[in-house]
């Protein structure tokens, strides 16, 4: 992930071929815990409990060709995955994704690759100046890195969309629910010559009520945040315009000649199983979304409790809405906590680091460093150490400059 | 692949999960055959015959985290894959890749992504002019597309390395054996301020004798051409300089947050099995390299025979060399035929198209359109139709302008 550095979080080294599940070692309660990265390992336990139902076996001779669907608009997209993607959106009701309605699917190596692909597809090649790319602050810290990586003449990073007031072509990225702060968003620029890319990575019913079926020109989703399978690097775009879909496909073709078919097969299987279970195929256990929403609800309750005990931080308030998927009213439970230190502390990241909690500073998101983003998607034991540690942090006035104990 | 268009080659749609192998339908002998793309499907039959020895099973809870080796120089590289990569180079003797000797491995989504990563890593960010990227013609047609894709200010495509004579920083890509023409190459610019990236995709003993252990600053390899598993999109770089490896890792991190772990697991298993078999683990059948070299030899014999019967084309001559891996003398058997029409025809691609053979024109490789590149890596039945069709093409003088019958 952007800004990855050394971490003390244990990584799971998967078994090479025998399909057995090995648990990660538990972190020492005194060790540094890394909540900087949004690594969705909290869902491992659920998938482990599913046993062989989601196991995928690939023989040595399968999926060898570059080609998946040579006559389709995205020639490297496996038909199995396309089918599972359209099915899960139909079932959840979070996005219009029907082929009959002219919605094209483009698969990418994670949705990150598709942010690149969308910028490539939307920026004309014959313009004198690069197109401005903006996003309302606080914005996902990786967008700027992506836009600036290769110093392209096609586009340039222009930061906070609230401050954009030029009569020039622009692209606004709208992340909703937002990373880092979980807010529900709409475009803010609303000027002529603009195009909007919707990053809907978190618009799933474990994070937020599904209030409407999104139906925008370009919508990005990722397997990482839907089911927690970040290691597979599968993202997809739902695109209305055939030419834009073709250009995005071209980008992925030139930059990496398509997308891993092994991971496409795996995503097809797991998304399909989620759908099957939501439709009653598995009567023994909760479906994935119900399970994951319950976990997120529990974590947010523990987090609020810790913040209350500490008296040193605050969290955003989230509205309660009716979810068309679950048929219930509930609050957004974002994947990240957007935590603010009370007024005496200006640098929340340093404060937490002193307590062996690694977080990402608000400054990385175009916001005040009194904020940090903390991942709530880690393993249970790490999350529990985090809330326990957070609840004991007390900010006191020591010398009037906001130093903390 | 670059320049992909509709194709009539049947694609195999792999079984979703049961591991059974389904055969592709045979093409009609009158249908268009596509040899434009270097899709290595010829090896499917070998891997099918290997049965379950190379099957990989991944449970639903494995390989979920973004992280593979958080403390390693390439944090998304699975240790299993790193081990298999170093092992296969040690066994084959084609490249110096030992950790103890300070060689770093960076994994990519195909070696194509690593070409991008290498350019990013080698081009300074503070220079007034983009760094020139060159390759001796005929050069792989995708390099230009990769370099020009995002109109980067870091680098620019400058075409044929033979023509480069500026006193400026440059990067030369050396592909050896070369795509498209199979020649064995060395750098040709040899001026100050240059850096060299070696694309060694075809430096394996089924394509060419292993005459020496390559030991260059940056060497690129790909699973696609080593074992034929193009659909997995796994490439790797062997890098001497730690800082360059770190920058290449950063590029892959920002552009796609790493590389599919499912495919890394599969590549680790298959490369490991190739090594096991070369060391005698499988006494029932040939090891992969012996098998693949025999197939390539047979195909080149058939191709030479067809060219001889036709009397309309010519092929390059390749030297015979001692292979340190196999202990035998043999000729390079490139993955592509670099076919030249005789002097009466100026556009070989059109000539072949009229005979329902899709090839890639020499002009795409910075060379004369009297040449075409034809993939020799397709399925057996397609290859046989190709040589049969080629052998019947006769170029005659019709009106003095080189029109053909």
Asked whether the beta carbons of residue A2 and residue B270 sit closer than 8 angstroms, the reply is no
A22 belongs to a structural domain? no
Q: What is the pLDDT of residues B319-334, one digit of tens each?
A: 999 999 999 999 999 9
Q: For residue A164, tell me if it sits in a domain.
A: yes
User: Which of B313, B352, B342 is CA-nearest to residue B402?
Assistant: B342
Q: What is the pLDDT of residues B312-366, one digit of tens each?
A: 999 999 999 999 999 999 999 999 999 999 988 899 999 999 999 999 999 999 9
Cβ partners under 8 Å of residue A170, min gap 6:
A131, A132, A133, A134, A158, A164, A189, A191, A193, A194, A195
Minimal Cα–Cα distance from B101 to chain A, Å? 23
B48 within some domain: no
Residue A17 maps to a domain: no
B5 sits in the region (left: phi over 0; alpha: psi -120 to 50; else beta) called beta
User: Does residue A252 lie in a domain region?
Assistant: yes
pLDDT of B388 over the 60 cut? yes
Determine the Cα–Cα distance for residues A155 and A363; give it in Å rounded to an integer: 23
Per the structure, the count of domains in chain A is 1
Mark B263-279 as b/e (b = at least 16 C-beta within 10 Å).
bbbbbbbbbbbbbebbe
What rounded mean pLDDT belongs to chain B?
91
Please check the confidence at residue B15 and state whether its pLDDT lies above 70. no
* Residues 6 or more apart whose Cβ sits within 8 Å of residue A308: none
Question: pLDDT for A270-315, tens place per residue?
Answer: 999 999 999 998 888 899 999 999 999 999 999 999 999 999 999 9
Where in the sequence is the domain holding A218, given as residue range(s)? 79-278
Q: Is B115 within 8 Å of B201 (Cβ atoms)?
A: no
**How far is Cα B378 from Cα B375, in angstroms, rounded to an integer?**
7
Is B145 a residue whose pLDDT tops 80? Answer: yes
User: B4: pLDDT confidence band, cut at 50, 70 and 90?
Assistant: very low
ipTM over cut 0.90: yes
Q: How far apart are CA A224 and CA A114, in angstroms?
A: 14
**B348 CA to centre of own chain:** 23
As a whole number of angstroms, the distance between CA A117 and CA A107 comes to: 10
Q: How far apart are CA A142 and CA A72, in angstroms?
A: 31
- Taking CA–CA distances from B78, the nearest residue in chain A reads A13
Helix (H/G/I), strand (E/B), else coil: A148 = helix
CATH code where residue A90 lies: 3.40.640.10
Mean local confidence (pLDDT), B168-179: 97
Report the C-alpha gap between A109 and A262 in whole angstroms.
12
b/e per residue, A155-194, with b = 16+ CB within 10 A? Answer: beebbebeebeeebbbbbbbbbbbbbbbbebebbbeeeeb
What is d(CA A385, CA B249) in angstroms, rounded to the nearest whole number? Answer: 31
Reference A185, options A167, A170, A205, A200; nearest CA is A200
A vs B: CB pairs below 8 A: 323
What pLDDT shows up at residue A22?
40
**Cβ contacts of B403 within 8 Å, gap of 6 or more:** none
pLDDT band at B5 (very low <50, low <70, confident <90, very high): very low
B interface test, pick of A56, A62, A77, A270 with most B CB neighbours within 10 Å: A62
Token output for A62? 């399968």
pLDDT tens by residue, A167-192:
999 999 999 999 999 999 999 999 99
Token duo for residue B74: 């390439």
- Closest partner CB to A59 (pick from B54, B110, B256): B54
Domain assignment present for residue A123? The answer is: yes
Distance from CA of A190 to the nearest CA of B (A): 27
Scanning the structure block, which residue is given the tokens 């399968």? A62
For residue B9, pLDDT over 70 is answered with no
Kindly determine whether residue A113 and residue B58, on different chains, have CB atoms separated by under 8 Å.
no
CB contact at 8 A, A109 and A259: yes
- Per-residue pLDDT in tens (0 to 9) along chain A, 405 residues: 554 443 333 333 333 333 333 445 566 668 999 999 999 999 999 999 999 999 999 999 999 999 999 999 999 999 999 999 999 999 999 999 999 999 999 999 999 999 999 999 999 988 899 999 999 999 999 999 999 999 999 999 999 999 999 999 999 999 999 999 999 999 999 999 999 999 999 999 999 999 999 999 999 999 999 999 999 999 999 999 999 999 999 999 999 999 999 999 999 999 999 999 999 988 888 999 999 999 999 999 999 999 999 999 999 999 999 999 999 999 999 999 999 999 888 999 999 999 999 999 999 999 999 999 999 999 999 999 999 999 999 876 554 444 443
Is there a domain that residue A95 lies in? yes
Residue A381 lies in a domain: no
For position A18, what pLDDT does the model report?
37
Q: Taking CB atoms and an 8 Å limit, are A261 and B120 in contact across chains?
A: no
Considering only CB atoms, B231 lies closest to which of A1, A64, A71, namely A64
φ, ψ (nearest 5 deg) of residue B224: -55, -45
pLDDT of B35 reads: 97
pLDDT, position A27: 63
C-alpha count within 13 angstroms, C-beta hemisphere, residue B236 = 27
Query: B272 contacts in A (CB within 8 Å)?
Result: 16
Nearest to B221 by CA among B129, B131, B95: B95
Q: Could you tell me where the DSSP H helices lie in B196-347?
A: 223-226, 242-256, 261-278, 288-310
CA distance A188 to A198: 13
Spatial separation of the C-alpha atoms in residues A175 and B241, rounded to whole Å: 38
**pLDDT at site B1:** 53
Amino acid A382: pLDDT: 96
- State residue A26's pLDDT score: 60
pLDDT value of position A17 = 36
As separate numbers, helices (DSSP H) first and strands (DSSP E) second, chain A gives 10, 16
Asked if A292 contacts A93 with a C-beta cutoff of 8 angstroms, the reply is no
Query: What tens digit of pLDDT does each residue of B34-83 get?
Result: 999 999 999 999 999 999 999 999 999 999 999 999 999 999 999 999 99
């Amino acid at each position: 992930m952007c800004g990855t550095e050394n971490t003390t979080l244990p990584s799971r080294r998967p078994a090479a071929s025998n399909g057995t599940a090995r648990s990660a070692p538990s972190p020492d309660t005194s060790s540094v815990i890394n909540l900087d990265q949004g690594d969705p390992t909290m869902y491992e336990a659920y998938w482990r409990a599913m046993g062989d139902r989601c196991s995928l076996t690939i023989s040595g001779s399968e999926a060898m060709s570059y080609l998946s669907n040579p006559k389709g608009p995205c020639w490297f997209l496996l038909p199995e995955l396309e089918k599972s993607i359209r099915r899960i959106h139909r079932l959840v009701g979070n996005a219009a994704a029907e082929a009959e309605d002219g919605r094209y699917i483009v698969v990418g190596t994670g949705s990150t690759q598709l942010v690149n692909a969308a910028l490539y597809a939307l920026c004309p090649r014959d313009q004198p100046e690069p197109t401005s790319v903006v996003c309302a602050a606080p914005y996902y810290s990786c967008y700027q890195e992506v836009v600036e990586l290769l110093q392209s003449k096609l586009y340039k990073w222009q930061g906070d969309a609230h401050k954009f007031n030029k009569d020039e072509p622009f692209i606004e990225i709208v992340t909703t629910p937002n990373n880092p702060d979980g807010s529900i968003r709409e475009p803010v620029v609303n000027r002529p010559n603009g195009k909007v890319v919707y990053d809907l990575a978190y618009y799933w019913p474990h994070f937020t009520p599904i209030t409407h079926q999104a139906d925008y020109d370009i919508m990005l989703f990722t397997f990482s945040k839907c089911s927690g399978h970040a290691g597979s690097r599968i993202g997809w775009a739902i695109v209305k315009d055939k030419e834009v879909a073709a250009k995005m496909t071209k980008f992925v073709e030139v930059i990496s000649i398509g997308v891993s078919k092994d991971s496409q097969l795996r995503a097809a299987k797991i998304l399909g199983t989620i759908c099957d279970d939501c439709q009653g195929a598995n009567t023994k256990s909760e479906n994935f979304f119900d399970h994951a929403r319950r976990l997120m609800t529990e974590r947010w309750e523990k987090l609020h409790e810790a913040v209350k005990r500490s008296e040193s931080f605050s969290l955003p308030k989230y509205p309660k809405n009716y979810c068309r998927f679950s048929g219930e009213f509930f609050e957004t439970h974002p994947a990240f906590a957007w935590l603010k230190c009370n007024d005496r502390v200006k640098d929340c990241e340093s404060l937490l680091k002193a307590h062996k909690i690694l977080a990402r500073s608000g400054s990385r998101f175009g916001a005040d460093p009194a904020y940090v983003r903390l991942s709530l998607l880690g393993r249970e034991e790490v999350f529990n150490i985090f809330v326990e540690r957070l609840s004991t942090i007390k900010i006191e006035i020591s010398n009037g400059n906001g130093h903390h104990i």
